[in-house]
Structure formats: C-alpha cells, structure tokens
Amino acid sequence: MKLHWIISLIFTVLILGVGAYGFYFIYDHVPKQLDAPSSILAYDDEESDQFVEGETRELTEIIHDTQKLVVKIETEDGSIGSGFLYNDMGDIVTNAHVVAGVNNVTVTTADSRQLYGTVIGISDTIDIALVRVDDLAGTDPLPISNTKAEIGEEVLALGSPFGLDNTVTTGIISGLDRDLDLPPYYYEGLYQISAPIAPGNSGGPLVYSATGEVIGINSAAADQGSIGFSIPIIDVLGMIQGWSQSPMTALPTFDTYTTDYGYYETDYYYTDEDYALYLVEYYYDNLIYQDFLTAYSLLGSNLQTNMSYESLRNEYIHTDWISIDDIVVTNTNPLQVFSIITKEQYSNNTTSYEKYKVTHTIGYENDHLKILTEQKERIN
C-alpha cells in the first residue's frame, strides 16, 4: 500500500539518525503535552516469518537484524573498533589493527553484555583478525555472500552497536580492485564505497542492502571522508576459516603499527548513565520490531519472574508504532531512566493511542547490565 511505503521510507531516514540520537540527553522535566511524534515502524511476526535468505527485505529490518550481530571491541591499550559474528563457534571478524599486539579483548554486544574474547588469528600483512568469544558460541551468525559485488550495488556499512557508537551509513559500490599501501598493511583488491567509514565502523561488516549478506570488512576511509574502502570477504574467507579450524598458537609481533589510517576511532569513555539510556532505547527498539525474545532477555531475573514472556508479547503484539517523546537518565544508585512513550495500537480495524510515563531501574546482574524494574503509568 502507498501509505505503508511512505511510512517505511520515513522510518528508514529516522533509524539512520539513531547514532546521533544517543547524544541527546534531556534534563528538564518531562513535557506534559505530546509533541508531534517521531514514530518508528514495527513488523509483525507473520511478516517477519515470510523473509528467507536471498529475498529482498525491508531496509529497516536489515539494519536491525545486522546490528544485533555487530560488536564493539576494546583492548587494554584503548584501541576501539568493531567486529561481526562470523560463525556459530563465537568467532568475530575484525581488522588486525584493532587487536594488534594483544591476546585478549573485551567485546560488547548489542544487548549491552560485556564478554571476553581471545585473538585466535591475525595477519601482519592483511588487515584481518579473528577473535573467539566462547559466550557467543551457538548464536546464529550473519549470512556471508559467496559472490563478488558489482559496481552500483547498494550497501550498508555498519559499526559497533553499543549506544553512541551505533553507526549505519548507506551507499553504493563505486569502485572495484582498489589498492592502498598503509604500512604495515597492504590493501589489495578493495571495494570502494560511497558510504564513508564513520566512527565505530572499522572492522564492521559491509552488507548488501537488499539481503543483509556480508560482502566485506570495513577497513579504511579516504581523507575527505566521502568514500570508504572495504576488504572483500570472499578474498579472505580461506584465511578466516583456517584460523577458526586451527587457532594460532603464537601471534605475530608487531614492531610498528598504527591506527592512524583515516579510521575514525574514538577515545571517549562512556558512563553508566550512557549505558543505561542506551539499554532502555534498545529495549524499545526491540519492542518496535516485535523482537520479543531479545527484549525479554534485557530484563533482570526478578522482573522476568513478575512478567512472563507471554505477557510482554501480548502487551505489544498489536502495537504498530512506539514513539519516545521524552527520555532522561538520573545519576542515582541504582540508575533510573524516565521516559514518556506513545503506543499506536491497531486492533479490530481500530487505531488507538496510549501515552505512558515509564520508569526503569537499571543495574548489573551477573556482570550484565539489565532492566531491573519497570513501572508504567497511563497518562491519557
């Protein structure tokens, strides 16, 4: 329907601004009047089940599904980059420059879990490395394309998913077989893309916009920032598979290496308030997409005891839209996030709007950040 197409287009624009929205903190009292909502599209279960591998899917769903499998990688010396889940053994593909000189890293997932990873493979000539995260074993990975991209194909460059790092840029394949010499690495046969390598994208996946299949590893950006370069994953699959099957027993020594490649790494350290705000926004995001399993996994054990998965699903199954009209985090112990949301409900051919004031308490449970309590008050 034309209306559905327009709504989808609006949301596509909105979701690409998600990374910037993370910086928006509100410190005044929550407004009593509802401003014009910036709504977000949700997909129902029946529609989601119709998508199969290789089939063209909604851009917003591609972004959501891919971001869940993109991680933030940090080392003790402060290097920050991205990676993505390559297989069901918990192996993460990233750039070698992100993890050069270290054996162990911290990996942060989209649902705010901080896990430990071990570098099991790294090249000292090609900017590729593999990190194994045992806690991610058994998780379905991103699909990998077995064909080379062509000029003009539409792509997405994604970066680390955690809160303010969240970056998604759209573009096309604008060049093939590009070579770059950025010691100690030599880049050969790169894809040139019109999507710049934004902060957090280094090591993240380049995927087809239509299917979500990984075609490259984002690796470098031109000085002017208007184009980026990506290593075709089909060219390094043999190396990655070899490390996965036979992890390196000794990692190479890097006498000289640098992150000054035009990668836009950041040394910003996020606060607990940042993490709490992100977690609540990510919770709403999953409810919007009706990804109820992921949303439910963000809840603490006591909250899950008081609220079953079925009750959460039943509450939001007929929700077409959710608008976050206001949101603020308080520097208290435990942290609290206050939000005003508007739900657009559609049931029995009738659309209704419900406005709520919601309070979430955020804290750590088994070293993982969780939503510990939820209080909701209807205000219209």
CATH number, position 240: 2.40.10.120
* pLDDT at position 369: 87
pLDDT tens across 355-379, in order? Answer: 999 999 999 888 788 999 999 999 9
* pLDDT at position 211: 93
pLDDT above 90 for 165? no
CB 87 within 8 A of CB 244: yes
* pLDDT band (50, 70, 90) for residue 221: low
Backbone phi, then psi, for 190, in 5-degree steps? Answer: -75, 155
In a domain, 294, yes or no: yes
In whole angstroms, give the CA distance from residue 17 to residue 170.
12
* pLDDT at position 57: 55
Average pLDDT, integer, range 58-83: 87
pLDDT tens across 266-310, in order? Answer: 445 668 888 899 889 989 988 988 889 889 989 999 999 999 999
* Domain shared by 128 and 166, yes or no: yes
Find which of 25-39, 133-147, 251-265 is predicted with most confidence, using mean pLDDT.
Answer: 133-147
* Domain shared by 290 and 253, yes or no: no
In whole angstroms, give the CA distance from residue 35 to residue 187.
49
In a domain, 303, yes or no: yes
* Domain shared by 265 and 278, yes or no: no
* Domain shared by 187 and 226, yes or no: yes
Among residues 242, 269, 296, which one ends one of the domains? Answer: 269
**With pLDDT > 70 as the criterion, what percentage of the chain qualifies?**
76
The reply to whether omega before 247 is within 30° of 0 (cis) is no
pLDDT above 80 for 147? yes
In a domain, 346, yes or no: yes
In whole angstroms, give the CA distance from residue 16 to residue 37.
17
- Residue environment code for 102-134, b if the CB has 16+ CB neighbours within 10 A, otherwise e: beebebbbbbbbbbebebbbbbeebbbbbbbbe
Among residues 269, 295, 329, which one ends one of the domains? Answer: 269
Residue tagged 């920032």 (tokens): 225
* Domain shared by 80 and 117, yes or no: yes
Q: What is the CATH number of the domain that holds 335?
A: 3.10.450.100
CB 81 within 8 A of CB 198: no
In a domain, 63, yes or no: no
* pLDDT band (50, 70, 90) for residue 16: very low
The reply to whether omega before 199 is within 30° of 0 (cis) is no
In whole angstroms, give the CA distance from residue 256 to residue 268.
24
Among residues 243, 269, 295, which one ends one of the domains? Answer: 269
* Domain shared by 169 and 106, yes or no: yes
* Domain shared by 103 and 235, yes or no: yes
Domain span including residue 179:
68-269
In three-state secondary structure terms, 72 is strand
What is the C-alpha radius of gyration for the chain, rounded to an integer number of angstroms? 21
Identify the residue with better confidence: 350 or 49.
350
Task: Output the pTM of the full model.
Answer: 0.69
In whole angstroms, give the CA distance from residue 205 to residue 168.
10
The total number of structural domains in the chain stands at 2
In this structure, are strands 40-41 and 185-193 parallel, antiparallel, or unpaired? unpaired
In a domain, 42, yes or no: yes
In whole angstroms, give the CA distance from residue 297 to residue 371.
9
pLDDT tens across 28-47, in order? Answer: 433 333 333 322 223 333 33
* Domain shared by 280 and 264, yes or no: no
Quick one: tokens of 88?
A: 């069901």
Residues, the chain: 380
* Domain shared by 358 and 309, yes or no: yes
Quick one: tokens of 60?
A: 């917003």
* Domain shared by 294 and 214, yes or no: no
pLDDT above 90 for 151? yes
Long-range contacts of 246-253 (CB under 8 A, 24+ apart): 247/120, 247/121, 247/132, 248/120, 248/121, 248/122, 251/103, 251/119, 251/122, 252/122, 252/123, 252/124
In a domain, 61, yes or no: no
**With pLDDT > 90 as the criterion, what percentage of the chain qualifies?**
47
In a domain, 62, yes or no: no
* Domain shared by 320 and 255, yes or no: no
* Domain shared by 109 and 157, yes or no: yes
> What is the sign, positive or negative, of the torsion defined by CA atoms of 365, 369, 370, 372?
positive
